[in-house]
Chains A and B, each alone.
Chain A
Amino acid sequence: MQLRRRPSPSGILKSTYYLLVPFVLLFLVTLVVPTVHMFIISLTSRTTGSNQSSFQFIKNYVAVFSTRDILRALVTGVLLALCTTTAKSILTITITVLIGAEVAGKKYWHYLLLLPLSAPPSVVGLLWLGIFDDLTGVANALLLESGVIQQPVGWLSHASTGFCAIGSAMVWRGYPLFLVLIFFSLRRFPAQLYEAACLDGASPIMAWRHILLPYLLPAISVAWLLSFLLDLAEFDIIYILGCGGPGGIFMNALMKAYEIGIVSNRMPLALAIGFTVVPFALFVIFMVAGIFSRWSSQWER
């Protein structure tokens, strides 16, 4: 069997660790050293272009949890990521149900569904701005012409509509990631199980519920967690669709960190926001890796 992974046959990879040198070097230079350096900066009051800085200890971290705007950005980011990820999973599961169905041009249909994943996020932001822009957006044009509304809606000026507009763009861009992982998982699905269940009288929905869904659960979990992380870190789409909205109502943690660090030149506080999110992200990453490892072991068996 070719996909045998471990235990490694004796004689292969005798002195293995030097193979990791380039990986470790790149990782050290671009990730570890800057992280340590940034953590030190986050404990100071340093500003860009100034040599004066004083040690603040955890003052910046206390400020993260005591400043209303920052807390709101943290909560908004999590809420937005939760909503968009849930919407993506519902959309993808609907498509998965249809995957089993006989549809004309099925192969091309699958492929076209992946189209949004290929677009750069900043372009996605602009494309959706073309729909939801208050003045030139197509959404207002269509609703006005059909008589649903009497005057243009400020889609990106209000909390609820803005949330929906940004969420739509993020769902549009992100759902193909779910599909890719599920398609990948489906390639190894033992189809005879499904056929046997149908022959035994199970309805397509029952077969899907009791056979396909449990099989796809690891893939859906990995996709859900990855998508949640990526949505939590979304910057381009939120930035382009109204720069976080009036008063920063749609700002997530990353946008807030950008605003505080780059625009307001308070880098230590911005970095403290970043480091507040890191442990949470790390926890999710370990869960993803754990599920992924179990998933690959399942395949090996």
Chain B
Amino acid sequence: MGAIGVVQRLATHVVCVILSSVPFIPLLVAANSALVPTAKLYAGATVFVSTPPTLAHLRNVVCEGNILLWMRNSLGLGLASGALSIVAALPAAYFTARSASRSLAFHIRVTSLFSYVLLPIFLAIGVMITLTNPIPVLLVQILLVYACLQMPIHIWFLEYAVLRVPVQQLEAASLEGAHDCQILIYVLLPQLRWPLAACILTGLWLAWCDYSIICLLRHSNDFHTVTTGLMTLRVGDVYRWGELMAASLVLTIASFALFSCVALVAKHAEEEEDVCS
């Protein structure tokens, strides 16, 4: 390797190190604030650990705060809405993957994308207004909105998974006289365990991350998910800065764990399908 090669290699590594630091900068700042005991509003600029670091903020958030309750609420909503979304998305994914009607399949993708992009934007308010009379239980409304939000992602995931199931199996079942529903339940479903797990985890992650919809639709000021709960640490001029950053850090790490689970499950699903094929 010549001198130019060494310089190129070195430059590549330097750029990689710089780019690698990008995801961590805000997290390091949060960790710093969470470990500094004097971190609060009007305390002046937060200096990097000038005092001995303390875990008091983290302890307050995890042990004395309601973060575990918020997590439970988020996970519950995510699980329920994920299940509801899969009930709608699985047959639709089977349809888009195996239907001869290309244009209809295309339109299903478009409409589902429409819900993903527009629902959080402008339509949540409308859902709130429209459904308040026929469905007074607001938790049901939240579940419906979340399910609609997750549906396009589930359709895409499951469509891809259905496409990987050998056509011959479906043909054989059909020749044996199985109905589409029976094919779906007895042939496809057992082979889609891992993609379904990935869908459930994606639903959990979406419910975990949402802030605007739950703000509009939650039925009581005492009901909090992780994102709305986090904002209770920041009311008006009172910033519990250390706890705010500690909670942000805990939630980011938990989100990353959830996200990693999705990635691992999806990878496992693909490997298993490759082995089967």
Binding site for B on A (CB under 8 A): 2-9, 11-16, 19-23, 25-27, 29-31, 33-35, 37-38, 41, 91, 94-95, 98, 101-104, 109, 111-124, 126-128, 130-131, 135-138, 140-141, 144-145, 152, 172, 229-230, 233, 235-236, 239, 254, 257, 261-262, 267, 270-271, 273-275, 277-278, 281-282, 285-286, 288-289, 292-293
Contacts and interface: CB of A to CB of B under 8 A. Distances in A.
Contacts of A126: 30, 230, 234, 244-245, 248
Tell me the interface secondary structure of chain B in the complex: helix
Interface of B: 9, 12-13, 15-16, 19-20, 22-27, 29-30, 32-33, 39-48, 84-85, 87-89, 91-92, 94-95, 97-102, 106, 108-115, 117-123, 125-127, 129-131, 144-145, 147-148, 151, 155, 163-167, 170-171, 174-175, 180, 183-184, 205, 208-212, 216, 226-227, 230-231, 234, 239, 241, 244-245, 248, 251-252, 255-256, 258-260, 263, 277
B32 to A, nearest CB: 7
Which of B106, B126, B260 has most chain A Cβ within 10 Å? B126
28 contacts: A2-B165, A8-B99, A8-B100, A16-B99, A19-B91, A23-B155, A26-B88, A27-B112, A27-B148, A30-B144, A30-B145, A31-B148, A38-B125, A94-B19, A103-B13, A111-B263, A113-B19, A118-B256, A135-B44, A136-B43, A137-B45, A257-B122, A267-B125, A278-B118, A281-B121, A282-B114, A285-B117, A293-B109
Given A94-B15, A130-B33, A254-B121, A12 B98 contact: yes
A102 B6 CA distance: 12
Nearest to A233: B121
A101 B41 contact: no
A122 B227 CA distance: 7
A123 B114 contact: no
Given A22-B91, A288-B113, A289-B106, A34 B131 contact: yes
Contact of A229 (B9, B41, B92, B117): B117
Contacts of B258: 118
Nearest to B122: A274
Given A14-B180, A114-B259, A172-B22, A281 B117 contact: yes
Which of B19, B84, B226 has most chain A Cβ within 10 Å? B19
Given A12-B167, A112-B23, A137-B45, A7 B100 contact: yes
A127 B95 contact: no
Given A22-B91, A27-B111, A123-B248, A35 B126 contact: yes
Given A23-B88, A120-B227, A229-B117, 7 more contacts: A26-B148, A30-B148, A102-B12, A119-B209, A126-B230, A137-B45, A138-B45
Contacts of A91: 19
Nearest to A169: B26
B5 to A, nearest CB: 11
Contact of A33 (B23, B130, B175): B130
B151 A38 contact: no
Contacts of B42: 135
A19 B227 contact: no
A51 to B, nearest CB: 13
Contacts of A285: 110, 113-114, 117
A5 B208 contact: no
A113 B23 contact: yes
B131 A8 contact: no
